[in-house]
Amino acid sequence: MSNAVPQRNVIALNPEACTSCMLCVRECPTWCIDLTSHTVEVTEEGARRPRSVNVLDDFSIDYGLCMYCGICIEVCPFDALGWRDAFDYPAGERSELRQHTSQLSEWWPSGN
Amino acid sequence: MTNGMVHLVSADEWVQACRTLADQGTDVADWLTAIDTAGSLMVLVHLVCPGTGESALIGCHVDSESPQIASLTPYFAGVDWHERETSEMFGIEFIGRASTDPLLLRTAEDPPPLRKRSPLPARVETPWPGREESEKKRRRRKLPPGVREEWVSDE
Amino acid sequence: MWEVASRPGVGVQVVGAGLACCSLEVEAAVQRGLLVPAEGLESGEGDLIVLVIAGTITRALEPAVRRMHEELSARGPVRVLAFGACATSGGPYWDAPAVVCGVEELFTGEQISSYVPGCPPRPEALIAELERIVDESAVTT
CATH number of the domain within which C54 lies? 3.40.50.12280
Say if residue B144's pLDDT is above 70.
yes
Residue C1 domain-assigned? no
Q: Count CB atoms within 10 A of the CB of residue B7.
A: 16
State which residue of chain C sits closest to A99, comparing Cα positions: C117
The predicted-structure confidence for B77-115, as pLDDT tens digits, reads as follows 899 999 999 999 999 999 998 777 787 777 777 889 899
Residue with the larger pLDDT of the pair B137 and C84? C84
Domain boundary assignment for chain A: 10-106
- The SS3 of residue B56 is strand
Nearest by CB: B122 against C59, C60, C95: C95
Nearest by CB: C117 against A1, A64, A92: A64
Which of B124, B134, B137 best tests the A interface by mutation, with the highest count of A CBs <10 A? B134
Say if residue A90's pLDDT is above 50.
yes
Chain C contact for A6 (CB, 8 A cutoff) = no
Residue C26 domain-assigned? yes
The predicted-structure confidence for A66-86, as pLDDT tens digits, reads as follows 999 999 999 999 999 999 999
Q: Provide the pLDDT confidence category of residue C123 given band limits of 50, 70 and 90.
A: very high
Strands (E), chain C: 2-4, 11-18, 35-37, 48-54, 57-58, 78-83, 99-100, 112-116
> Whole domain around residue C114: which residue ranges?
18-37+48-118
Q: Provide the pLDDT confidence category of residue A3 given band limits of 50, 70 and 90.
A: low
Residues from B contacting C (CB-CB < 8 Å) are 104-106, 110, 113, 120-123, 146
Residue C71 domain-assigned? yes
Torsion of CA C85, C90, C95, C96, to 10 degrees: 120
The predicted-structure confidence for C46-59, as pLDDT tens digits, reads as follows 789 999 999 999 99
Q: Count CB atoms within 10 A of the CB of residue A32.
A: 24
Query: Chain A partners of B144 at a C-beta cutoff of 8 Å?
Result: 26, 31
Pick the CATH number of A10-106 from 3.30.565.10, 3.20.20.410, 3.30.450.40, 3.30.70.3270: 3.30.70.3270
Residue C68 domain-assigned? yes
Instruction: Tell me if B130 and A25 make a contact (CB, 8 A cut-off).
Output: yes
Say if residue B132's pLDDT is above 90.
no
8 A C-beta contact, residue C1 and residue C11: yes
Chain A, 31 to 60: residues with Cβ < 8 Å from chain C are none
Q: How many domains does chain C have?
A: 1
Task: Give buried/exposed letters for C90-110 (b at 16+ CB in 10 A, else e).
Answer: bbbbbbbeebbbbbbebbeee
Question: Residue C120: is the preceding peptide bond cis (ω within 30°)?
Answer: yes
Q: pTM for the complete prediction? A: 0.85
What is the average per-residue pLDDT within B51-58? 93
Query: Chain B partners of C101 at a C-beta cutoff of 8 Å?
Result: 122
The predicted-structure confidence for C59-95, as pLDDT tens digits, reads as follows 999 999 999 999 999 999 999 999 999 999 999 999 9
Say if residue B135's pLDDT is above 70.
no
In order of their start, the domains of chain B are 6-95 (3.30.460.80), 119-155 (no CATH)
Chain B contact for C33 (CB, 8 A cutoff) = no
pLDDT of B110: 81
Query: Chain A partners of B146 at a C-beta cutoff of 8 Å?
Result: 29
ipTM attached to this prediction: 0.91
Residue C32 domain-assigned? yes
Torsion of CA C90, C93, C98, C104, to 10 degrees: 10
The predicted-structure confidence for B14-53, as pLDDT tens digits, reads as follows 999 999 999 999 999 999 999 998 889 999 999 999 999 8
Say if residue B155's pLDDT is above 60.
no
